[in-house]
């Protein structure tokens, strides 16, 4: 699934999310619900800055929720992308995090599938064959 479709699905399934930005790990915007590209870029950069500033003894954070009196700002990242979202006040954080992680997973699906198709038969098949031979012996 491409990034714009993953983000469109996110805002469709999550009634709590008011706006969201999907970006590469370096902050390059892949898709956004914001009409203004410059603002989408700024949100992605602030999301990166928040992840950087939240780094602690346990390493790099994977999820952050900043709850302010009138709204909350969420950031979730994986190895290649991050997604930032704005909700109203007092969101159900667990549900929002779940939806954001689903969005990241869906955005990553197509490249992984294409990579597997391009690399031919998977190594696991060979391993399974070896186990079958061992089983027969």
Partner 1 sequence: MRRLAGFLVAVGSLLGAAALWRRRAGKGREHVDVYFADGSAVTFDEGSEEAARLVPIARRALEQAQG
Told to check if 69 binds partner 1 by CB under 8 A, we report yes
- Measured distance CA(45)–CA(38) in Å, rounded: 11
Instruction: For the CB of residue 87, give the shortest distance to partner 1 in the complex, in Å.
Output: 10
Cα distance between residue 119 and residue 31, in whole Å:
28
- Nearest approach, Cβ of 109 to partner 1 (angstroms)? 21
- Which residues between 98 and 137 bind partner 1 (CB under 8 A)? none
Q: Tell which residue, 13, 12, 51, 30, has the closest CA to residue 21.
A: 30
Q: In angstroms, rounded to a whole number, what is the distance separating the alpha carbons of residues 21 and 44?
A: 7
Whole-angstrom distance, CA of residue 127 vs CA of residue 48: 40
Rule CB under 8 A: say whether 23 interacts with partner 1: no
Nearer Cβ to partner 1 (39/108):
39
Binding interface with partner 1 (CB under 8 A):
18-19, 21, 34, 36, 39, 42-43, 46-47, 49-50, 53-54, 56, 58-69, 71, 73, 84, 86, 89-90, 93, 97
């Amino acid at each position: 699934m491409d990034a714009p479709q993953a983000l469109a699905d996110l805002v469709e399934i999550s009634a709590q999310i008011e706006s969201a930005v999907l970006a590469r790990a370096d902050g390059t915007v892949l898709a956004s619900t914001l009409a203004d590209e410059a603002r989408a870029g700024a949100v992605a950069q602030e999301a990166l800055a928040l992840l950087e500033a939240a780094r602690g003894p346990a390493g790099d954070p994977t999820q952050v929720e900043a709850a302010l009196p009138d709204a909350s700002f969420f950031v979730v990242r994986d190895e290649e992308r991050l997604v930032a979202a704005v909700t109203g006040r007092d969101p159900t954080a667990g549900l929002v995090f779940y939806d954001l992680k689903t969005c990241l997973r869906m955005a990553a699906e197509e490249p992984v599938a294409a990579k597997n198709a391009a690399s031919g038969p998977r190594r696991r098949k060979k391993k399974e064959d070896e186990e079958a031979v061992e089983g027969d012996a």
